[in-house]
Amino acid sequence: MTGNQELTQRWQGALMDNYGTPRLPLVRGEGARVWDAEGREYLDFVGGIATNALGHAHPAVVAAVSTQIASLGHVSNLFMAEPTVALAERLLTLFGREGRVFFCNSGAEANEAAFKIGRLTGRTHMVATDGGFHGRTMGALALTGQPAKQDPFRPLPGDVTHVPYGDAQALAAAVTEETALVVIEPVQGENGVVVPPAGYLKAARAITAATGALLVLDEVQTGIGRTGTWFEYQAHEGVLPDVVTLAKQLGGGLPLGATVAFGRAAELLRPGHHGTTFGGNPVACAAGLAVLDTIEGEGLLGNVKRQGERLREGIEALNHPLIDYVRGAGLLLGIVLTGPRAPQVQQAAQEAGFLVNAPAPDVVRLMPPLNLRDDEAGALLQALPGILDAANGDGRSGE
Ligand code: PMP
């Protein structure tokens, strides 16, 4: 039995079957590279589903985590620690607004807190979007707009209306004086990197402002530089959300989520309303600070824009029959295929030493680390024609 097969068998024996069997057991990572249990190297364009802002084992994150855990590992929320305060202050500086932060451990939890903030307005109705993804806990799942994930768990909490994504008229029709919040992803990541029409977020801001509903932007996937600005909404003029939820990249690989609220939304959670034991854990927050420092210090927002454009242009210039076009922003890219071959592309890419994923049957998603290098982007561009040929069933085959 190979090392990969052995780990797979142990996984199947010991872990619940909720993810199915992962396609590859990984044992080590460095930058954009990972190695499997047999020592085979891959370039990681999945980035831990967009969690690895700086790639694997970044020295700044390793140092911050090691130093922090050696001095004060965890304090619970009966007490407080400096890195937690510092990260909250730092995030608010990046937003450029006064507000308050609630720290938690995941994207779903960040959205659960937003759900509760919505309830504390005294209104109960919520509006979310078809195809949207906000997490798997029951509140976050109620906001999610993907029936296959929701149906086994109905009834879901809350009074949630789902409207077509990107349709400002449908949004305006659904939002009433009873609506507590509207939750939107600036780009729908899990749904296949779906970009709304220009002006959609601005319209959502106007619609919610007119009825007194909170505008919650779920930036769990788009935030912390993934799209080339600190937060994707900052690339849209005239959009100031009431609440922004964050996770994934924020912790540089550690579990860390945040619900950031502004104005009256920042004052609604009162003592006793909400909490979680590990929320604001100083080790995770120290990692978060290292991530933000490194993005800033190394000018990575510029790199995201540069590499994102290069990949987009390079992929479209291949003129491959399997490629329709590339959509997305920064280093959150969806290669839209001319047919439902994304799982085959994912498999062919893995065989060629590249990790990508297939959020929809006809979309291949790329979300490499923000510090992706020229040679790494170039390696994918060079390998793609062969990968696409293999996935298309013509040419080199792994079958
Ligand atoms: N919101 C968005 C936009 C996401 O992409 C995800 C994760 N894919 C989540 C929420 C849930 O995050 P987590 O898995 O950390 O709970």
Given a cut of 70, whether residue 35 has pLDDT beyond it is yes
| Known binding-site positions for pyridoxal 5'-phosphate | 107-108, 133, 218-221, 277
Q: What gap in Å lies between CA 282 and CA 138, rounded to an integer?
A: 27
pLDDT band at residue 20, thresholds of 50, 70 and 90?
A: confident
What's the pLDDT at 15? Answer: 94
The mean pLDDT of 168-175, rounded to a whole number, is: 98
Task: Tell me, yes or no, if 133 is annotated catalytic.
Answer: yes
Res 398 pLDDT > 90: no
Average pLDDT over residues 45-64: 91
The mean pLDDT value of the chain amounts to 96
Give percent of the chain above pLDDT 90.
93
Mark residue 373 as left, alpha or beta (left: phi above 0; alpha: psi -120 to 50; beta: remaining).
Answer: beta
Is residue 52 very low, low, confident or very high in pLDDT (cuts 50, 70, 90)?
Answer: confident
202 catalytically annotated: no
**pLDDT(397) > 70:** no
Mean pLDDT of 292-310: 98
Domains and CATH numbers, the chain: 3-57+299-392 (3.90.1150.10), 59-297 (3.40.640.10)
Separation of CA 365 and ligand 1 centre (Å): 15
Q: 265 near 181, Cβ under 8 Å?
A: no
How far is ligand 1, taken at its centre, from the CA of residue 41, in Å? 27
CA distance 122 to 176: 14
Q: Is the pLDDT of residue 51 over 90?
A: no
Q: Give the total residue count for the chain.
A: 399
Distance 245 CA to ligand 1 centre (A): 10
Q: What is the mean pLDDT of residues 13-27?
A: 90
Q: pLDDT tens digits, residue range 126-165?
A: 999 999 999 999 999 999 999 999 999 999 998 999 999 9
- Mean pLDDT calculated for residue range 97-101: 98
Q: Is 189 in the pocket of ligand 1 (CB under 6 A)?
A: yes
Of all residues in the chain, what percent carry a pLDDT higher than 70? 98
**How large is the average pLDDT for residues 203-222?**
98
Residue positions in the annotated binding site for N(2)-acetyl-L-ornithine? Answer: 136, 276
342-371 residue pLDDT tens: 999 999 999 999 999 999 999 999 999 999
**Interface ipTM above 0.90:** yes
**248 is known as an active-site residue:** yes
Tokens of 134: 């906000």
Nearest Cα neighbor of 134 from 259, 251, 242, 220 is 220
How many whole angstroms separate alpha carbon 195 and alpha carbon 166? 8
pLDDT at position 394: 62
Tokens at 7, concatenated:
């780990």
